[in-house]
Amino acid sequence: DADVTQTPRNRITKTGKRIMLECSQTKGHDRMYWYRQDPGLGLRLIYYSFDVKDINKGEISDGYSVSRQAQAKFSLSLESAIPNQTALYFCATGAELVGYNEQFFGPGTRLTVL
Amino acid sequence: AQKVTQAQTEISVVEKEDVTLDCVYETRDTTYYLFWYKQPPSGELVFLIRRNSFDEQNEISGRYSWNFQKSTSSFNFTITASQVVDSAVYFCALSEEEGYGGSQGNLIFGKGTKLSVKP
């Protein structure tokens, strides 16, 4: 079984709809992340959480919100989706090791907003 | 501020050619970590290597090799005798040491280089 799972894997929705992308992990890590990937732009950090009570904005948090329901679950919401939020979204978990942060990525969710 | 530049947007080679993917980084931290990830057409991210700033030894893993040069702030990736299965987008990433200058140790990615290997 995969250590980091994302649901759904693909989603097509319409402008203005509320969308939730879910991420679950069995790695036991405290840290979780949401990234967005656009062609030619690499991965950009949306939100991250170092534990259940800690939520932080990343580079591009506008238009998104998150919820850390438990250590193992981290959800990303688009309250009112717009076409420029069409992208590939990755969830990741992080293990705090000496000096650095080892990250493990989920398989990605491809979101299309029409 | 930290930054990763992958100047090559797309590279196309013929199978069995050697190819080098460039990565240049910027950081004010003296302790940092560099990464390469592979994203095949199926979309998942595959971790390839991590290197810390104190270890400038080159690394070789099969047909893959990495050249880390602090003097030029570069961490280049070479694929020897490329194969069609190497076709993918490759990302270089940087992470500063946690706690230094308020760093949370988050990953900063380059924009990626799309490698196409033709038979």
* pLDDT digits (tens), chain B, 119 positions: 789 999 999 999 999 999 999 999 999 888 899 999 999 999 999 999 999 898 888 888 899 999 999 999 999 999 999 999 999 999 999 998 776 666 677 899 999 999 999 99
Q: Quick one: CA dihedral B42, B45, B47, B53, positive or negative?
A: positive
CB contact under 8 A, B43 and A107: yes
Q: What is the Cα B43 distance to its own chain's centre?
A: 17
How does pLDDT run across A26-76, given as a tens digit for each residue? 999 989 999 999 988 899 999 999 889 999 999 999 999 999 999 999 999
- Closest Cα partner for B44 from A40, A90, A107, A34? A107
Chain A residues in contact with B95 (beta carbon < 8 A)? 100-101
Quote the mean pLDDT of chain A. 92
Quote the mean pLDDT of chain B. 92
Closest residue on chain B to A10 (Cα): B43
pLDDT at residue number A17: 96
**Phi/psi of residue B71, nearest 5 degrees:** -60, -30
d(CA B5, CA B52): 18
